Amino acid sequence: MTTARSLFGKSSTLPTLYRDAGGDCRQLTLTPGGRHRRENL
């Protein structure tokens, strides 16, 4: 999950909120090409 913070960079608040909601899918949608990376992991 540390990768999410790296991708977002300064906006580390976004991934934190999504984590609380448990909506990993939403986080992937925000990150460009993040779906493939997440699925591979």
Model pLDDT for residues 18-36, shown as the tens digit of each residue: 555 555 555 555 556 555 5
pLDDT score of 41: 47
**Alpha-carbon span 20 to 36, nearest angstrom:** 22
- If you compute the radius of gyration of the chain from its CA atoms, what whole number of angstroms results? 9
Q: Which two tokens stand for residue 11?
A: 């906006």
**Mean pLDDT over all residues of the chain?**
54
Q: Are 17 and 40 in contact (CB under 8 A)?
A: no
C-alpha to C-alpha distances, 4 to 17, 22, 23, 34, nearest whole angstrom: 12, 14, 13, 9
Q: Whole-model pTM?
A: 0.14
pLDDT score of 13: 56
